[in-house]
Structure 1
C-alpha cells in the first residue's frame, strides 16, 4: 500500500516505522525542514517539505494512488483542513487526528468519518488499568473478517433497535448517549444523536458504510 503522513509527529513516525517494516510505501509531509533533516538518516521513506494542507504539496504525492492518508499534525484545525483538501483531490481514505473531542462530530458532519482522538483513547486505557481491569487489544479479540462500525443516529433511526434494518451478520452492541456508555439489547430504544457501535463483517461493513455515510470503522 501507499501511505502518506501529514505531520512528522511521534505518532506518525511510530506508525510509519511499522508500516515500512511491513513493506509498504510511506511518504511523510512535514513543514519543518529541521525535523526532516533529523529524521532522514533514521527512516527509509520519502520526505516532502511543505504545508500538507496545500493542494500543490499534496498533488506531488499523486493523490489518486494513495491508499491511506494520515493527518497527524499537532493542530486539529490543520488536520481537518488537510483532510478536506485530500478528499477533494481524490484520496481514497483519510484518517484525521483531533485532540479536542468537540471536533469529532464536526468531522463526521464534514464527511471525515475516520477520526481518531488519541488522548481520549489513552485516557480510557489508563483508567481501566488504574481500576485493575484487564485491558485487551482489539486485534487480540477480533479475528478474521470481524470489524467494528459506529455512526450517529438521526431521527430516521430513532425507535426500537429491532426496527433498525441491519445486514444479516451485523449487531448493535452498545451506544454512547451524552458521552455515557449504554448497553443495548433487542428491545432498547435508540434516540437521535446516539453514537451506535456495531459488530459486523467485512462484507456487511461495505453495506453499512453505503447506508450510513457518516459512520466510521473503529476496529
Structure 2
C-alpha cells in the first residue's frame, strides 16, 4: 500500500488535539484515535481531519485509522505505557519509519531503543528551555538565577 502524507495521532488530550490541529493547518491528512469519544471535543472547530474512537494499542483500530497508508504516527496519550506499546506496534508490526512517542518518564526510553522511535519528554524539553533562557546558568555566569541570588543577599 502506498504511503501518503497521512498522520495518525494517538491520544486526543491537550497535546494530541493541539498537535492534530496544527498538522491539519500545515496541510497534512490527520486521523486522531482516542478511546474516549468525548475527547474529540478538544479538537478545534476548524479541525479538518478524521476521528476514530478506539484503543490505539489494538492493531484492528490502527488498521481502521489507516496506519497502512500513514507516513507518521505520534503516540501522545497521557500514559507512558500506552504510548510505548503504540510506538512499538507502529515500528515493529507496520514498519513505520517515523514514530514519535511522548514519555513523561525519560528512563523508559530504553523500551523503544533500536526501533527508530523518537522519544519526546516534556520534562527534558522544559529543562532545555530553562537552560537556554539562562536560568540554569553555570556558577559565576550571568543570568536570571545569578541576579536573583544578588537580590536576595
> Under a length normalisation based on structure 1, what TM-score does the superposition of the two structures give?
0.55
Whether 1:20 and 2:40 are equivalent positions in the alignment is: no
Any gaps of 5 or more consecutive residues in structure 2? Answer: 138-142, 145-153
Indicate the RMSD between aligned Cα atoms, in angstroms: 2.0
Q: 1:1-219 maps to which residues of 2 (within 5 A)? A: 1-39=5-43, 41-87=45-91, 88-109=93-114, 111-129=115-133, 130=135, 131=137, 132=143
- Structure with more strand by fraction: 1
| 1:138-181 deviation line (CA, Å, top 9, x unaligned) | xxxxxxxxxxxxxxxxxxxxxxxxxxxxxxxxxxxxxxxxxxxx
| 1:98-144 deviation line (CA, Å, top 9, x unaligned) | 110111123215x24311112211122124322438xxxxxxxxxxx
| Structure with more contact order per residue of length (Cα contacts < 8 Å, sep ≥ 6) | 2
Shift of 1:39: 2.8
| Native 8 Å contact 2:11 2:76 kept in 1 | yes
| Native 8 Å contact 1:5 1:72 kept in 2 | yes
Any gaps of 5 or more consecutive residues in structure 1? Answer: 134-219
How many residue pairs were aligned? 132
- Structure with more helix by fraction: 2
Distance 2:27 2:88 in 1: 28
Shift of 1:28: 0.4
| Native 8 Å contact 2:75 2:100 kept in 1 | yes
Distance 1:2 1:36 in 2: 18
> Under a length normalisation based on structure 2, what TM-score does the superposition of the two structures give?
0.76
- Once superposed, which parts of structure 1, at least 4 consecutive aligned residues long, lie more than 6 Å away? none
